Chains A and B, each alone.
Chain A
């Protein structure tokens, strides 16, 4: 890593390449590396576009109840009078159903689409936050303390990384359900929300190990540096060394890993729901809709395109944004 501690310019001078174009022209001395990275990001047109797309979806998810109210529909009511006897919608896009209705059930497409953004984003962000926190703490402890702690944590990381993700995700649902009292005592809504939390758990459980391994490596190289040795020498408590001295130097790998994890989790959620082991009705989700809509792609293309466009745009924007963030924080990778 090429970034020095935030209150020192030593690191920057040691690696002139890292800040060379920016510092030479526009950036005055004294800006923090994060600030520098953010400035670079703001000038990156791709990053700005992607950020606004992500923001758009976040707003969509947050404002879903408001938007559907505006439309006058909700996502769960069946309108079987709006589909013909074969199940094909009899109406197209109109004033009361902005994006038409689902085949067979006649539920409102627009409402299901905006509500469908919610589980994707909530699951992806929550799983990222939880996974990142655990990963950073474990990585810091393993790297800094060394010895037995390191060995135990490293073993744990290897263990988690070797577990089969998909099998685990499938197997966990019935186990958690039986812990909650078995499917007999659960309503469909409760079963659906159990799946929701199981997904968050599974994704973060499998997400932390990779990050922890990266952080551990970083810490191993950082802990022999002068500022850490100095802090240790003057008797700064371990906790303070970890979180005040080391952590700020790890912002870059953390941000990069998190920003790349979010789109991966969105895809994972949709994929699991598509396979039928993720979210289930009545929670609307894009993955589920895609699974059903593939049968209708000839008869009712809009039904399939909505969730596909949603997921593609969101994941693409998140992924490009993640790339841009990595570039901004780690200028050596700039092309």
Chain B
């Protein structure tokens, strides 16, 4: 899943400081890897039933305001892929499955949501059958039908129209590479999904995909009645199955949610309906919004912000209980186009990169924000921390004169003196321009030539998202979050050759051997994969080095004083919205 702040990350890396890490230690000593990780475990509970257990002391009523500096690109269930769109969508879209956060450490457990179970796999693993719950209604009272699920899945193949959405169905479902969605001629006939009766959904696969129940938690699997599908305008009036419904949506500005009267708590093992509504205000000023939330005066006590606290606001945190902290399944990276930068040079870039100084200039908070040495973040099961020399996410790099001189002489030795490094940055963003200046000074000191191209902040995503852009550093995705707790939502998506075509490639690797290695692991049973992915991780870093892991993003959000049960959802690295309540509504 793309990181919510991808726009900013691409060049800026981060507007804000970062999160507090370690759930177990509040002081969070630097680089203490033992306190990291283990937040996401592949746990399932196929028999979970609604209603969700009540939160202690929860009250009903009131409206929660969410002041957000980032703007989700879409709320169309098929097109949502950024973590924040997904998390907000959970309030009004129900999927086949969902995560329940268990226990004091909020361990995510996959439970059936609109399905009766977590799906049954055929013997060959190519056919999945989901039993559907009965009596589910949309907000207008019309019943949800089995073909609505099938239609939603068909809709997700119209990737030209919903180009931001996830693409696993095209890689794994039957005829996924050929079928182009329900809008083209003959689009109604798709053999990949079947609804033999009113409470069964059958999905046919082209190749084994044991993580399908996890994928089924995406809003892409929410039922969509064909008659109500207005394509690109669907997000204006989507059919809600969750506890809330969209009352008004102005793209980029505001999303208002009110209670969904047709939602039946007895069918939902995860969600609550404590507050009367949510008011999401987007495109706010980060510092201003966070300061407001921290001060919690008047209506701001009912507000929260889901970006990590800016480091300059640290002295203003008077009450630690106002901060939501916890793990998030994301790694932020410095990507290098392997087609344009030879491996020898990539190794020298890694040596010259001034991690420590860069972290300060970018405003990262060290105690909250652990430096990364691996591609997989600690929250992914099977994570095994390893540190290759010089790739620990720390170090002075070319800030150290000796290192700079060494890199310079080695560059000369391999005949690459003045090798040009180029990247995009947003010219109207202070942090982006400063980190760019800093890196430029350091890389030039180490004998590279630097061409930094300033583009407006509003457009930078278009530039960095182009896999064939005429730069060799910093193409997105520069931050990645697990789609579900497994390496399968990382390596096949990011490092295989076909990732370039799907627009998700990290390092633009086109290596047959690596493709084969990744495919071999994907074919294994989920439990066997765990350790294998770490091996792949290390292999990529040792042999290919397409990326410098920078840090593992973790959560550290400010919430207003009146908001109760504000907890971090480790599957998204965002607040868990569906169980929030107001202490004094």
State whether B361 touches A183 (Cβ < 8 A). Answer: no
The interface residues of chain A lying within 8 Å CB-to-CB of B30 are 85
State whether B428 touches A280 (Cβ < 8 A). Answer: yes
Known: A78-B361, A87-B360. A296 touches B428 (CB 8 A): no
State whether B452 touches A188 (Cβ < 8 A). Answer: yes
Interface residues of A in 70-115 (CB under 8 A from B): 76-78, 80-81, 83, 85-87, 103-106
Is A282 an interface position by the 8 A CB rule?
yes
Is A292 an interface position by the 8 A CB rule?
yes
Is B316 an interface position by the 8 A CB rule?
yes
Q: Mark B344-373, 1 if CB is under 8 A from A, else 0.
A: 000000000010110111110111000000
- The residue on A at minimum CB distance from B367 is A85
Is B438 an interface position by the 8 A CB rule?
yes
- The residue on A at minimum CB distance from B440 is A188
Known: A183-B453, A281-B434. A80 touches B399 (CB 8 A): yes
State whether B399 touches A296 (Cβ < 8 A). Answer: no
State whether A86 touches B437 (Cβ < 8 A). Answer: no
Is B427 an interface position by the 8 A CB rule?
yes
Is B61 an interface position by the 8 A CB rule?
no
Is A295 an interface position by the 8 A CB rule?
yes
The interface residues of chain A lying within 8 Å CB-to-CB of B17 are 86
Known: A87-B360, A104-B363. A298 touches B315 (CB 8 A): yes
The interface residues of chain A lying within 8 Å CB-to-CB of B468 are none
Known: A78-B357, A174-B456, A281-B437. A276 touches B363 (CB 8 A): no
State whether A87 touches B430 (Cβ < 8 A). Answer: no
Cα A276 to Cα B354 with chains together (Å): 27
Cα A53 to Cα B311 with chains together (Å): 37
- What is the CB-to-nearest-CB distance from B308 to chain A, in angstroms, rounded to a whole number? 14
State whether B311 touches A87 (Cβ < 8 A). Answer: yes
State whether A103 touches B312 (Cβ < 8 A). Answer: yes
State whether B430 touches A86 (Cβ < 8 A). Answer: no
Cα A108 to Cα B436 with chains together (Å): 18
Instruction: Tell which of B316, B360, B456 touches A104, judged by Cβ atoms closer than 8 Å.
Output: B360
- The residue on A at minimum CB distance from B442 is A78
Is B310 an interface position by the 8 A CB rule?
yes
State whether B312 touches A87 (Cβ < 8 A). Answer: yes
State whether A105 touches B315 (Cβ < 8 A). Answer: no
State whether A183 touches B312 (Cβ < 8 A). Answer: no
State whether B454 touches A186 (Cβ < 8 A). Answer: yes
State whether B366 touches A85 (Cβ < 8 A). Answer: yes
Cα A184 to Cα B360 with chains together (Å): 28
- The residue on A at minimum CB distance from B436 is A188
The interface residues of chain B lying within 8 Å CB-to-CB of A59 are none
Q: How large is the interface on B (under 10, 10 to 19, 20 to 34, 35 or more residues)?
A: 35 or more
State whether A288 touches B315 (Cβ < 8 A). Answer: no
- What is the CB-to-nearest-CB distance from A218 to chain B, in angstroms, rounded to a whole number? 42
Q: Mark B306-322, 1 if CB is under 8 A from A, else 0.
A: 00001111111000000
State whether B430 touches A288 (Cβ < 8 A). Answer: yes
Known: A86-B366, A281-B433. A105 touches B438 (CB 8 A): yes
Is A299 an interface position by the 8 A CB rule?
yes
Known: A183-B455, A298-B316. A106 touches B433 (CB 8 A): no
Cα A86 to Cα B16 with chains together (Å): 12
State whether B312 touches A291 (Cβ < 8 A). Answer: no
- The residue on B at minimum CB distance from A288 is B430
Known: A87-B312, A183-B454, A183-B455. A188 touches B437 (CB 8 A): yes
Is A154 an interface position by the 8 A CB rule?
no
Cα A277 to Cα B313 with chains together (Å): 25
State whether A85 touches B360 (Cβ < 8 A). Answer: yes
Cα A54 to Cα B440 with chains together (Å): 36
Interface residues of B in 404-459 (CB under 8 A from A): 427-428, 430, 433-434, 436-438, 440-441, 451-456
- The residue on A at minimum CB distance from B287 is A295
State whether B428 touches A276 (Cβ < 8 A). Answer: yes
Interface residues of B in 315-333 (CB under 8 A from A): 315-316
- What is the CB-to-nearest-CB distance from A13 to chain B, in angstroms, rounded to a whole number? 60
Cα A281 to Cα B430 with chains together (Å): 8
The interface residues of chain B lying within 8 Å CB-to-CB of A186 are 453-454
Is A333 an interface position by the 8 A CB rule?
no
State whether B451 touches A187 (Cβ < 8 A). Answer: yes
- What is the CB-to-nearest-CB distance from B53 to chain A, in angstroms, rounded to a whole number? 39
State whether A104 touches B454 (Cβ < 8 A). Answer: no
- The residue on A at minimum CB distance from B368 is A86
- What is the CB-to-nearest-CB distance from A4 to chain B, in angstroms, rounded to a whole number? 53
The interface residues of chain A lying within 8 Å CB-to-CB of B356 are 80
Instruction: Tell which of A80, A174, A277, A296 touches B357, judged by Cβ atoms closer than 8 Å.
Output: A80
- What is the CB-to-nearest-CB distance from A290 to chain B, in angstroms, rounded to a whole number? 12
Q: Mark A179-193, 1 if CB is under 8 A from B, else 0.
A: 000011011100100
- What is the CB-to-nearest-CB distance from B37 to chain A, in angstroms, rounded to a whole number? 21
State whether B437 touches A291 (Cβ < 8 A). Answer: no
Interface residues of A in 270-285 (CB under 8 A from B): 276-277, 280-282
State whether B361 touches A295 (Cβ < 8 A). Answer: no
Interface residues of B in 50-100 (CB under 8 A from A): none
State whether A86 touches B365 (Cβ < 8 A). Answer: yes
- What is the CB-to-nearest-CB distance from B404 to chain A, in angstroms, rounded to a whole number? 13
Instruction: Tell which of B287, B314, B360, B451 touches A106, judged by Cβ atoms closer than 8 Å.
Output: B360
State whether A78 touches B430 (Cβ < 8 A). Answer: no
- What is the CB-to-nearest-CB distance from B30 to chain A, in angstroms, rounded to a whole number? 7
- The residue on A at minimum CB distance from B357 is A80
- The residue on A at minimum CB distance from B437 is A282
State whether B430 touches A80 (Cβ < 8 A). Answer: no
Cα A292 to Cα B361 with chains together (Å): 13
Cα A334 to Cα B279 with chains together (Å): 58
State whether B359 touches A85 (Cβ < 8 A). Answer: yes
Interface residues of A in 161-211 (CB under 8 A from B): 174, 183-184, 186-188, 191
Chain A residues with CB under 8 Å of chain B are 76-78, 80-81, 83, 85-87, 103-106, 174, 183-184, 186-188, 191, 276-277, 280-282, 288, 291-292, 294-296, 298-299
Q: Which 10 A-B pairs have the closest CB atoms?
A: A80-B357, A85-B366, A281-B433, A295-B312, A80-B360, A276-B428, A78-B438, A296-B312, A295-B287, A191-B454
A-B contact pairs, 15 of them (CB 8 A): A77-B441, A78-B438, A85-B360, A86-B366, A104-B362, A105-B434, A183-B453, A186-B454, A188-B433, A281-B430, A281-B434, A281-B437, A295-B310, A298-B315, A299-B312
